[in-house]
Chains A and B, each alone.
Chain A
Amino acid sequence: MEFETVIGLEVHVELRTRTKIFCSCAVEFGAASNSRVCPVCLGSPGVLPVLNEEALKLGIRAALALSCEVRRSSKFDRKNYFYPDSPKAYQISQYDEPIGERGCVVIAGTSAPRSIGITRIHLEEDAGKLTHSPFGDASLVDLNRVGIPLIEIVSEPDLRTPDEARQYLEEIKSILQYCGVSDCRMEEGSLRCDANISLRPVGQATLGTKTELKNMNSFRNVVRGLEYEQERQRAVLMAGGAIVQQTLRFDEATGTTIVMRSKEDAHDYRYFPDPDLPRIELTQAYLDARRAEIPELPAQMRARFEQAYGLPTYDALVLTSTQRLARFFDVAASQAVDPKAVSNWLMGDVLGYLKEMGEDIDAQPMRPEQLAGLLRLIDDGTISTKIAKTVLRDMMTSGQDASAIIEQQGLVQISDEAALREIAERVIAANPKSVEDWRAGKEKALGSLVGQMMKETKGKANPQLVNRLIVDMLRD
């Protein structure tokens, strides 16, 4: 029997605010345990939470960027549960009136682009962090994360392969980073992902029994976890067994999934409206202002790069992977004769060197205008492509213009035919063996002579000119 995989994702994203969602404690990654807490987030009696305006704005911006309808009127609810990561014994969340609903994102898909539905986006607070004593006799609680503003983004069960799940996550991450909503750093926990996965016979409309996967701490592990679970469920179903609805933890070391607990039903949380937080009522003008904050999004930028600069789809995808890189390309390409050449340099040497340095494009001093300048100097024959690679590295560490570096280091390409002819004569005279080989029909011998020329000129000789000169002279 053929099975179809059905995947839905729940993504938690930390909003980029300076303070927590309901109190004025700083949001800082890596602060000492319990040093960013106050009576409000500790849940002391008599305190009153007050909504952080920036968290509301970012949540709405995210909802709009993900094509959601935003509720003009919504509220916060208490999700009650007993666990030491929650000092109030409830999490402030949104239950039946989420801030955003019915959105979508478009992914490349397996064979054709697909629109993945977003069921809802709601605002909520994060919970604390537990570490467990190695002796198993106690758990230690750090409440710094309690009250950190989050949005939860729930997708429709529209994803069909683990790779589509990865594409969806990449797109969400990219959109939210472009909008300044979140850093989306999975390694710091500012983007977290849970997945629901089930299988059903191809052609069946109803969904199969699902399992929920937690603890996948990288996009790669999301794919690994889903692939493992997909195969596990397939094997169970093929053997005539039934899938048990349960929560599983992905174990990175073994690449397998481990049972965590049986699924709690929604009513176990006894949701009810939080009486401490007044309703949120928004005007159309307020929503319009949030919409105006959304910059050109990655999908729009990709399309524009393909159309305006004639880039291949792959180039557009790589260059829009971060907004900073996309903006760098945009400025450089607009000032260059050949945008594809800018793309090649960025995707090749620039990204390669950045990777070596472990830096972001904005962390190095070269400006896009300067890269365009370097390319012009290649075009007009001032320097060779080979020399340009050296100059580029210098630009990316010193921030100087290409022309200044070329002048200081005397790197101007030698295109003076008389000067090159003189050196060629010397090289030919000193290498009779190569000359003989070439005349005997060994094409490779030419390379050796050109190489000698480049050595003599420290790589500055115009390579096309050198080639032509030597061939001419050998023929004479």
Chain B
Amino acid sequence: MTSELNLAGRLGERVEGHFVHLTTDDVVHVAALARLHVTSEETESLVLELSRILDYARDLQELDLTGVPATSQIGITTTVVRADERRPSLTAAEAVANAPDEDEGMFRVPAVLEG
């Protein structure tokens, strides 16, 4: 692992061939939003991995795409369909197993009332 890198405060510096694009606090924040538990070692390696992805995005942004139509697809397939055949679903117990709170097979969330 890369725990000895001590990435704190090195935003924008070049580490192991890549620029550091985000802070360990950013990673901790995103992990909390995604309800992921990450150790401090994992946080540091994630800073580097996510930075590499952001590097890639920055590289793409540098391309001159004048005249190239926008796409959301890589365009190798179209009209992919499946047959209307049933397959087993999860059980209600499995479905709610990872929920922070549940009540008799239902996801229990903070009250949302309209009207």
Name B residues whose Cβ lies closer than 8 Å to a Cβ of A. Answer: 72-73, 77-87, 89-92, 95-96, 101, 103-115
Question: What residues of chain B lie closer than 8 Å to A136, measured between beta carbons?
Answer: 111, 113
Q: A58's closest neighbor in chain B, by CB?
A: B84
Complex interface bits, A254-286 against B, C-beta within 8 A gives 1, otherwise 0: 000011110000000000111101111110000
Known A-B contacts: A35-B89, A136-B111. Give 20 more (CB < 8 A). Answer: A17-B84, A18-B84, A25-B87, A33-B92, A34-B95, A50-B80, A53-B82, A84-B107, A84-B112, A130-B112, A140-B103, A141-B107, A261-B114, A272-B72, A273-B72, A275-B72, A275-B73, A279-B78, A280-B79, A282-B79
Residue A245 lies at the interface, judged by CB distance under 8 Å to chain B: no
From A33, A37, A138, A260, B110 is in contact (CB under 8 Å) with: A138
Query: Do the beta carbons of A139 and B72 come within 8 Å of each other?
Result: no
Q: How many residues of A contact B (CB 8 A)?
A: 52
Question: What residues of chain A lie closer than 8 Å to B113, measured between beta carbons?
Answer: 132, 136, 139
Question: What residues of chain A lie closer than 8 Å to B101, measured between beta carbons?
Answer: 138
Residue A472 lies at the interface, judged by CB distance under 8 Å to chain B: no
Name A residues whose Cβ lies closer than 8 Å to a Cβ of B. Answer: 17-19, 24-26, 32-39, 42, 50-56, 75, 83-84, 130-133, 136-143, 249, 258-261, 272-275, 277-282
Query: Do the beta carbons of B72 and A274 come within 8 Å of each other?
Result: yes
Instruction: Kindly state the separation between the CA atoms of A136 and B109 in the bound complex, as whole angstroms.
Output: 11
Question: What residues of chain A lie closer than 8 Å to B105, measured between beta carbons?
Answer: 32-35
B85 to chain A, nearest CB (A): 6
Question: What residues of chain A lie closer than 8 Å to B87, measured between beta carbons?
Answer: 19, 24-25, 38
Instruction: Kindly state the separation between the CA atoms of A39 and B88 in the bound complex, as whole angstroms.
Output: 12
Given A37-B90, A275-B73, does the pair A53, B107 have CB atoms closer than 8 Å?
Answer: no
Query: Do the beta carbons of B112 and A139 come within 8 Å of each other?
Result: yes
Question: What residues of chain A lie closer than 8 Å to B96, measured between beta carbons?
Answer: 34
Question: What residues of chain A lie closer than 8 Å to B115, measured between beta carbons?
Answer: 249, 258-260
B95 to chain A, nearest CB (A): 4
Query: Do the beta carbons of B78 and A140 come within 8 Å of each other?
Result: no
